[in-house]
Structure 1
Amino acid sequence: MKKYPLILDCDPGVDDVFAILLAHVTPEIDLKAICSVSGNVDILKTTYNARLIAGLLDAPCIVAEGASRPLLREPPPLGTVHGRDGLGGYAHEFGEDRLHTLSALKALDVYRKILLESEEPVYIAAVGPLTNLAILFLAYPELKSKIAAVSIMGGGIRRGNITPYSEFNFHKDPEAADIVMKSGVKLLLCGLDVTLRATLTEKEINTMKAYQSEFSEFSMKILSSYTSKDTAIHDPCAILALTEPEKFVYEDQYVEIDTREGITRGMSYVDSRKSQEKKPNCRVFYDMDQGFFRKSILDALKPEV
């Protein structure tokens, strides 16, 4: 069995919960660390939520706090999709005794330590703004060679969600996205083109109810708030694209990021003109087996017998 030593970079966020869950339960993945970043909510809340989910799952990994703001810009207003606390208003249901220990090291130092000490290349799944990765590449460019691939939830070649052209994570920190896209590291991009198919139906929700576990009940609560605003559970796609790429439709392309202010801020696009042919820098995922996605979420939530 191929093993994937993995650092998960996230901004929890309801859909991040399911990315953390999949990274924790997938046998092929060795989850080394969860690094928070400001995104769906501010850094204090995303870090708290990362600690809470890691604690509820009893995940044997590092949890570290990352960047509190975009690289160069004032952060745009926070969204409301995930609720004020990032978890649909349900983070308060658990006491601080359920929180995973927070590392004394910041995310940049955790990245450096894991990459330097690993005997094999490390995978990164980045499902929030790409600020932490951009800082890593700027501070320690020599460590790029220690990265096997970065699987990203972000962007959208055919559409956006914050503007008609721009997806939330890339819109939040377009300069960071631009640095990562130009990094030369192997990149997998699960943008809105594929993640909008990452949905659950009433059938899956009813199955969750039947599980009657603490985590499945918590999952149903946070989903009930979230899916009233966004039906797609985007972030787990970046985990599944690593371990089950055959379940996806993808194309190797050259992706660029628009860093200008305005309606195209953070836009990810492919220049397909023959006269501008460039070597692909990214594997772009466009479709997936929807039944596989739904089964993966249910299997991850299913209590151990």
Structure 2
Amino acid sequence: MTKRKILIDTDPGIDDVLAIATAYCIDSLDIVALSSVKGNVSLEYTTRNAILTLDILKQNTPVYKGSKEPLVNSPVRNSNVHGSDGLGNLYDSYREATPPLDRKTGGLYDLAEYISQSEDKITIIAIGPLTNIAKLLMIDPHLNEKIEAIYIMGGGLKKGNVTDLAEFNFYCDAYAAQKVLLSGIDIYLSALDATTQVYFTYEEFDAYEVKNNKSEFIKKTLEYYINLDPYLHDVLAVLSLSDPHLFEFKKMNLNVLTSADSANGMVYESELKNNGNVYFVDVKSRENVVKRVFDIINTYNDR
């Protein structure tokens, strides 16, 4: 089986932890790099949270420190949904108890060089604001040719969450979201329209067994999150890649509104034809997606 080379661009974030942990358990995916971006919390926190998550999962994947502010607008105030540290206020206790692994680190220019020199095309799973991805395409316009596709959690056609019209990731950097959607690269967009169909119940959550520190970390972070936002947002970007049979994909011409008001980051259908393809993701069955997530993360009890 040929594995797809994966870059995860992330702003951990509790649901980012679930998405990252899920991705590492899927045999068809080879996670070659993570990049951090300001989003749920500051860049310093998202970077250290990404590293801690990998240390707990015992993965020494390189982590590239990305953007601390959006392309154009002022930074958006951090979300409080994930706790003050982005990990449900669990960072300090787990950092103290988890030995750090040796790993390569760098910045966006290093990441651009890595992608440009890769023998294989890279597939990006982007589960935070799209600032890093837009900057990579600005650093080296030829990177388009090295990127297989981008699987995104962000945006919303019929709803928002940070405003009535805009989803958090796209609202944080609407200019970056617009640039990426119009880049000509194949885009698979898991927007709020899909992610708010997928949630776990308390019964499903309670059934998740904990047998080691990896599964304990996943469950404790989710335990903080479930009381505030039970939707499985970010993991849909992973599963829409690895398990496409669980979803439907509709090819659409989409754009992102850039403005100075509550409509900033709003996704809308455009009459202009995109240079590439945007596939809007829809969920076939909540139960099947949730079962797949728990089937995957339950494997951590055997690792």
TM-score normalized by the length of structure 2: 0.93
- Partner of 2:39, secondary structure, is coil
3-state SS, counterpart of residue 148 of structure 1: strand
Contact in 2 for aligned 1:252/1:282 (Cα 8 Å)? yes
Report which stretch shifted further, 173-182 or 211-220: 211-220
Query: Is contact 2:41–2:86 with CA below 8 Å preserved after alignment?
Result: yes
Query: Could you tell me which residue of structure 2 aligns to residue 240 of structure 1?
Result: 239
Equivalent position amino acid for 2:108 in 1: A
Q: Helix, strand or coil: the match of 1:94? A: helix
Shift of 1:143: 1.2
| 1:46-80, Cα deviation, whole Å (9 max, x unpaired) | 00100001011111411121111111121011111
* Distance of 2:238 and 2:284 partners within structure 1: 13
Written as runs of structure 1 = structure 2, the 5 A alignment for 1:20-39 is 20-39=20-39
Residues 10 and 48 (structure 1 numbering): CA distance in 2 closer, same or farther, change over 3 Å? same
1:288 shift after superposition: 3.5
The whole-number CA distance in structure 1 between the counterparts of 2:108 and 2:99 is 21
Deviations 1:213-233 (A, max 9, x none): 212222222122212221112
Distance 2:158 2:92 in 1: 38
1:292 aligns with 2:288: yes
Partner of 1:230: 229
Secondary structure of the structure 1 residue equivalent to 2:9: strand
Is the contact made by 2:112 and 2:140 (CA closer than 8 Å) also made in structure 1?
Answer: no
Aligned partners of 1:250 and 1:287 also within 8 Å: no
Matched to 1:270, the amino acid is E
Once the two structures are superposed, the pairs formed by residues 84-103 of structure 1 within 5 Å of their partners are: 84-95=84-95, 97-101=98-102, 103=104
The match for 2:302 is 304
Equivalent-residue separation in structure 1 for 2:104 and 2:197 (angstroms)? 35
1:253 corresponds to: 252
Report deviation, 1:277: 6.2
Aligned to 2:167: 167
Give unpaired runs (5+ residues) of structure 2. Answer: none
Letter in 2 for 1:73: N
Matches within 5 A, 1:138-157: 138-157=138-157
Paired residues of 1:112 and 1:143 also in contact (CA < 8 A):
no
How does 1:215-226 map onto structure 2 within 5 Å?
215-226=214-225
The question of whether the paired residues in 2 share the 8 Å contact of 1:147 and 1:185 is answered with yes
Answer yes or no: is the 8 Å Cα contact 2:157–2:191 preserved in 1. Answer: yes
SS at match of 1:171: helix
Aligned to 2:205: 205
Partner of 2:182: 182
Shift of 1:42: 0.2
Contact 2:156 2:266 (C-alpha < 8 Å) held by counterparts? yes
CA distance in 2, matches of 1:158, 1:136: 29
Counterpart check, 1:117 vs 2:117: yes
Confirm or deny that 1:42 pairs with 2:42.
Answer: yes
Partner of 1:265: 264
Q: Which residue of 2 aligns with 1:65?
A: 65
Is the 8 Å Cα contact of residues 259 and 265 (structure 1) preserved in structure 2? yes
Give the distance between the partners of 1:288 and 1:18, measured in 2 at CA: 21
**Residues 43/252 of structure 1: CA separation in 2 closer, same or farther (3 Å cut):** same
1:113-159 alpha-carbon deviations (Å, 9 max, x no partner): 1x223222110000000000000111101111011000000001111
Alpha-carbon offset, residue 165 of structure 1 = 0.7
Letter in 2 for 1:225: Y
